[in-house]
Amino acid sequence: MKFTKMHGAGNDYVYVECFSQPLPNDLPRLAREISHRRFGVGGDGLILIRPSEIADARMQMFNADGSEGEMCGNGIRCVAKYVHDHDIARKESLRIETGAGVLNLSLQVDDNGLVDQVTVDMGIPELIGPKIPTLIVGNDNSGRVVSVPVDFDGRTVDVTCVSMGNPHCVIFVEQATDELVLGLGPKIESDARFPKRVNVEFVEVISPTEVRQRTWERGSGETWACGTGASAVCVAGVLSGRTERKILNHLLGGDLTLEWIGETDHVMMTGPATEVFSGQWPADVQTS
């Protein structure tokens, strides 16, 4: 099976193009094995680039633990780069089908005719608690969960919950320490008040237009970037009065630009997409 390793701001996945080769068997197991950073290719998960009847391509993603996710903001930028650069649909505006719906993407092409930056219309954020989903109740009758103090494992933090096609719990902190990200992050991810588990963002506010983010990602652990998470942070910053609608977000693997547009309510995300290498995955490789 042919594969390609790609990353968006350090959020790395193994990509398998399913236009010219058959869909692999036992996808959750393949995701666990090929994502293993010691015995596999290594990555935050597996992304399939599949044909679509309603868009230029379909993205199907699996986390490193084999669970299937609805969307990945960094992953979809890489899917767009692959679709363009490998001549599946060589145009500068693409539509990609995901588990969270069809998204529109605008591609920036370098002097060699290859994509280096992609802007993604991430759509309208979901802010109503049960639809995110979360069982945490907001402070008013709006149904929103904004800056609500919640106790996790004996520690109280203010949380703002947003779905960008997948659930996020955003926590603004003075410093995003290992104790918070690696210690509290996994406990929040699997907390019963998040029925589908949750991605957790710990965010330092540098200024009203600039933040720094670390993410504990559902099913993958800490990742170097999270595009849907960065989008959720943009929304949460506005809702909590901490940031403006357009921000620069510094993640471990690079920077993303986010804007929550008031006229349309859509979140726009711009960031890099990088192809690293390609290879052949033997059918008989097993790591578990």
Tokens 């659930």 -> residue: 167
- Residues 168, 189: Cα–Cα separation, whole Å: 9
Q: Which residues are paired to 61 by β-bridges?
A: 47, 69
Q: Which residues are paired to 114 by β-bridges?
A: none
Provide the token pair at 207: 């200024």
**Amino acid (1-letter code) at residue 149:** P
Active-site residue (options: 78, 161, 169, 226): 226
Provide the token pair at 167: 């659930």
Is 78 marked active-site? no
- Residues 257, 190: Cα–Cα separation, whole Å: 29
Is 72 marked active-site? yes
Burial of residue 252, with CB atoms counted within 10 A of its CB: 0-12 exposed, 13-18 middle, 19 or more buried: middle
Q: Which residues are paired to 270 by β-bridges?
A: 119, 257
Active-site residue (options: 72, 78, 169, 234): 72
Query: How many degrees, rounded to 5, is the angle at CA 149 between CA 143 and CA 155?
Result: 145
Provide the token pair at 223: 């990742």
Residues 6+ apart with CB under 8 A from 118: 77, 80, 81, 105, 106, 107, 108, 270, 271, 272, 273
Q: Taking the mean position of all CA atoms in its chain, how far away is CA 24? A: 23
**Could you list the active site residues?**
72, 226
